[in-house]
């Protein structure tokens, strides 16, 4: 009997930002895999079972989920934000590619979610109103010099940048180095948005300039958006500033 495997993005944390499609997929599944804090966000029925695992065991979790689906169960793998953005959907595809017999026969589906970058951008205004790109600053799965080369290329080409996985206890210096590189390329006044735990009770938003931005303004739950040379800040009395990137551009000066 062939089961199903659905990878579900739960959104950044606010239950209102979990899509109806994701809710329906959660209701339909029998077994759940994912990092503990994401599983904790689910309200499951008594006959639905959770299989928690450590955040760094993505491929072994993907294999376990695949095996269970191949045995006929309706398996859901949950991620925060969008399941395809630095998350489980790619790990499952890797597991399917490596296990062609059972992996390619199950019903596999990815249900999208609101990724952290979009929730942070919405809080700040419209910093992603023009071209942007997204970089994970984690050098667990790629060498640091690749990250540096991508930062230089993207900032130099005028993209707004969104950073995921900006800093952790195991990766303490990378964000400071990323700011250093960007200061060589972009004006000091470029806006930098720190969006922490957006949509959760401990949400915190801050806007700095690139000249002032410090790595200790971020932690693992922070998504950082660094503007382009054209990104603007509108100060407002008694309200947080609005940060936006105009929809049109001439030829950027840098």
Q: Which of residues 165-204 bind ligand SAH (CB under 6 A)?
A: 165-166, 195-200
Window contacting ligand SAH (CB under 6 A); options: 33-41, 82-90, 144-152, 238-246: 82-90
Which x/- pattern, by CB under 6 A, does the window 105-124 give for ligand SAH?
----------xx---x----
CA distance 170 to 152: 24
- Count Cβ atoms within 10 A of the Cβ of residue 58 and give its class: 0-12 exposed, 13-18 middle, 19 or more buried: buried
| Nearest in space to 118 (alpha carbons), one of 193, 41, 168 | 193
Residue 65 touching ligand SAH (CB under 6 A): no
Count of residues of this chain found to bind ligand SAH when the rule CB under 6 A is applied: 25
CB 91 within 8 A of CB 53: no
DSSP three-state, residue 78: strand
| Nearest in space to 200 (alpha carbons), one of 135, 85, 111, 123 | 123
| Structure letter (DSSP) for residue 84 | T
Q: Which is nearer to ligand SAH, 70 or 192 (CB)?
A: 192
Least distance in angstroms from the C-beta of 222 to ligand SAH: 6
CA distance 79 to 112: 10
Window contacting ligand SAH (CB under 6 A); options: 57-65, 74-82, 153-161, 180-188: 74-82
Q: Which is nearer to ligand SAH, 4 or 138 (CB)?
A: 138
Residue 129 touching ligand SAH (CB under 6 A): no
Q: Which is nearer to ligand SAH, 75 or 114 (CB)?
A: 114
H or E element that contains 223 = strand 222-226
Residue 132 touching ligand SAH (CB under 6 A): no
Binding test (CB under 6 A) with ligand SAH, winner from 3, 12, 125, 227: 12
Q: Which is nearer to ligand SAH, 38 or 73 (CB)?
A: 38
HEC assignment per residue over 122-158 = HHHEECCCCCEEEEECCCCCCCHHHHHHHHHHHHHCC
Q: Which of residues 221-250 bind ligand SAH (CB under 6 A)?
A: 221-223
CB 13 within 8 A of CB 197: yes
Binding test (CB under 6 A) with ligand SAH, winner from 35, 86, 108, 194: 86
Which residues are near ligand SAH by CB under 6 A? 12-13, 79-82, 85-87, 115-116, 120, 164-166, 195-200, 220-223
């Amino acid at each position: 009997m062939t089961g199903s495997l659905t990878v579900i993005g739960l959104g950044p944390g606010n239950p209102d930002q979990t899509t109806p499609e994701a809710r329906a997929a959660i209701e339909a599944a029998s077994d759940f895999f994912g990092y503990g804090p994401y599983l904790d966000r689910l309200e499951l029925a008594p006959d639905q079972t959770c299989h928690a695992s450590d955040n760094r065991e993505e491929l072994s979790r993907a294999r376990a989920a695949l095996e269970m689906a191949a045995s006929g169960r309706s398996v859901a793998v949950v991620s925060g934000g969008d399941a395809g953005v630095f998350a489980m959907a790619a790990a499952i595809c890797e597991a399917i590619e490596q296990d062609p017999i059972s992996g390619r026969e199950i019903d596999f589906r990815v249900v999208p979610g609101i990724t952290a970058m979009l929730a942070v951008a919405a809080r700040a205004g419209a910093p992603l109103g023009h071209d942007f790109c997204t970089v994970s600053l984690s050098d667990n799965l790629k060498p640091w010099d690749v990250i540096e080369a991508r930062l230089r290329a993207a900032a130099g080409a005028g993209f707004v940048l969104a950073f995921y996985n900006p800093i952790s206890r195991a990766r303490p210096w990378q964000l400071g180095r990323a700011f250093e590189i960007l200061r060589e390329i972009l004006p000091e006044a470029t806006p930098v948005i720190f969006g922490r735990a957006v949509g959760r009770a401990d949400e915190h938003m801050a806007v700095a300039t690139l000249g002032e931005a410090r790595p200790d303004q971020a932690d693992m739950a922070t998504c950082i958006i660094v503007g382009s040379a054209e990104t603007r800040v509108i100060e407002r009395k008694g309200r947080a500033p609005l940060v936006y990137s105009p929809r049109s551009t001439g030829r950027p000066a840098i």
